[in-house]
Each structure stands twice: as structure tokens, then as C-alpha cells.
Amino acid sequence: MERVFEIERISFLYNGKKVIDDFSMVLEAGMSYGVLGPNGSGKTTLVDLIINHRQPVEGRIQYKGEPLSSYTRKALSREIALVPQNFYINFPFTAREVVMMGRYPHMPRFSAPSYGDTRVVQDIMEKTETLAFENRYVTQLSGGERQRVIFARALAQEAPVLVLDEATSNLDINHAISLMKMAAQRVRQEQKTVISVMQDMNLAAAFCNYLIFLRQGKVVAHGPVNEILTRETLWAVFGVESKVYFEPYLGSLQVIFKK
């Protein structure tokens, strides 16, 4: 498999405290990674380092064989798309305008959207079921609707890497599943890499094929879902009693927690 990210012994300090501590990992194309861990375990910081929004104080990150820092921001915006956790939009753009912003990295600074750009946006808005409110202001949409618009914007970027930072946290189960399915489909068919920070263990088990568990900035455990998602791991990471079992109805592992 093609190596997309090679992360070598990175650390990051936040207010003098190590939030990422000696983290190493290789991320490959055609894989869907789930990043899990308790609040404050450094998941969002890890995402910031991967998208080059922040730079590690130690260690290095290579993207497709080149140092991540050697890419221009513009070049990187064609490689990595982000669905952020915080998605407040301050001005009344319409939903369609926001999705079109995902095409900006592919459009010259002063040109209008090409036929191709418009087609991509149309197609993705259809699939994400955001066409129904394409002309409404994002400031007037519900939290879940807005999150779908942001998701659509990231898909419109057509980048080989898709980073989801708790992208489904505000969604109802129907839309959460359909968006995760769309991401998973791009992993299978287009060999994309999806990195999702998640809270929902069962959604992660169903849609990711590799899990990374963080605790206090360190990787506590990582591996393919079927090997790593165990009672012992969950106890070590979250300190909760659980039962992990194979669910034939879903075709994947599932977790239930003890009260």
C-alpha cells in the first residue's frame, strides 16, 4: 500500500504541557483510520499537526515522501480536506456558496467556477442531501444541516486525504451513517485515506478498518479493528468496563458499556 503519512516521533507542547508525546505512525492509502480517546487526550491537536495547521516541536511528518512543511498551503489544500469540529460561519453565505468554497483550491484566484466545478458541487450536494436548502443561508440552518454543508464542502475539495474531526457529532443517526458510508466508499473505490476523530465507538468499529487509541498525548494502542478493539484496550484507554462482540447483523465488532 502507498504510504501517505509517515509520522516519526512527533511531540507538541501546549502551554508548556506535552499534548502529543513521542507519536509515531504510518498511514496508508485506501485505509480508514479512527482516532479515539478520552477528552483532552490530544486528538484535535493530532489533527492540527496532520493538516499542518500546527507544526510539531520535535520529530517530523512526511506526506507522500516529502516533508509536510515543504508543501505550500495551496498545494496542501488540494491534498488534504478537513471537516472541523467547530463550524460556526459568521456571514450569511448560502449553502451552495459554502460548498463551492471547497472548489477554491482548484480554481485560479480571479476566475468564475468552471462547468466542472459546478458539476462537482451539484453532484456532491445531491449525495449529501444538501440540495434541499442550497439557497438558504448557512447562518439560518440547524446545526446538523450546517455540518452536512461543511462535509459537502470538504468532499468538493476532492482531496486524497479526508480528515474528519468529530464530523458526525451533531448529526442524527441516519445522516451520520450516510456520510460515513460516503467516506468509506471513497476509501474503497478511490484509495483515499480517511482519518476520523470520533467519540462513538460503535460508529468507529463499523466504518474504520484501523483504530488509534490516544491517552494523554500517547498512543496507548493501535491496530486493525478486529485485533485492537478489545475489552482490555477500552479499559486501558477509557477506564470503563465493556463487552466487545461480533455483531452479524452489522458484520463488524460492536461494544456495549457497563453502567
Partner 1 sequence: MTKKESQAGTFHSIHGSLSLWGQLILLSLLLAAVIIASAGLGYIKIPFMDVVRVVLSKISGHATLLGDMDKLFPVVVVDVRLPRILTAAIVGAGLAISGVVFQGILLNPLADPYTLGVSAGAAFGASLGILFNISFMGTWSVPLFAFLGALFTLLFVIYLSASSGGLSSNNLILSGIIVAAILSAGISFLKYVADEQVSVIIFWLMGSFGSKTWADVFLVFICVSFGFVVFIYFSRDLNLLSLGNRSASSLGVDTKRMPLILLITASLVSAVCVSVSGIIGFVGLLIPHMMRSFTGPDNRKLIPVSLLTGAILLLFADTVTRAILPHEIPIGVITALIGGPFFCYIFRKRQTAKVW
Question: Does the protein bind partner 1 through residue 258 (CB under 8 A)?
Answer: no
The stretch near partner 1 (CB under 8 A) out of 25-33, 120-128, 167-175, 203-211 is: 120-128
Stretch touching partner 1 by CB under 8 A, among 1-9, 106-114, 179-187, 216-224: 106-114
Q: Distance of alpha carbon 259 from its chain centroid, rounded?
A: 29
Q: How far is the CB of 157 from partner 1 (least distance, A)?
A: 7
Q: Which of 128, 127, 120, 124 is nearest to 144 (CA)?
A: 128
E-strand ranges in the chain read: 3-14, 17-28, 32-36, 58-63, 66-67, 80-83, 161-165, 193-197, 210-215, 218-224, 242-247, 252-257
Considering beta carbons, is residue 106 or 218 the nearer one to partner 1? 106
Judged by CB under 8 A, how many residues of this single chain contact partner 1? 43
* Nearest to partner 1 of 46, 150 (CB atom): 150
Q: Candidates 16, 65, 66, 90: give the one binding partner 1 (CB under 8 A).
A: 90
How many other C-beta atoms can be found within 10 angstroms of the C-beta atom of residue 248? 7
- Secondary structure of residue 171 in the 3-state scheme: coil
CA distance 50 to 80: 9
Rule CB under 8 A: choose which of 4, 35, 95, 150 binds partner 1: 150
Q: Crossing angle for the helix pair 115-127 and 143-156, nearest 10 degrees?
A: 140
Q: How far is the CB of 220 from partner 1 (least distance, A)?
A: 26
**216 closest CA partner among 20, 11, 66, 9:** 20
CA distance 141 to 149: 10
| Residue 104 or 184 with smaller CB distance to partner 1 | 104
Binding track, positions 29-48, relative to partner 1; x by CB under 8 A: -------------------x
Residue from 39, 65, 66, 73 in contact with partner 1 (CB under 8 A):
73
* Among 34, 37, 56, 84, interactor with partner 1 by CB under 8 A: 84
Closer residue to partner 1 (CB): 112 or 189: 112
The rounded distance, in Å, linking the Cα atoms of 38 and 235 is 12
Residues that bind partner 1 (CB under 8 A): 48, 51, 53, 73-74, 76-77, 80-82, 84, 86-94, 97-98, 101-102, 104-105, 109, 112-113, 115, 118-119, 121-123, 126, 137, 139-140, 150, 153, 157, 163
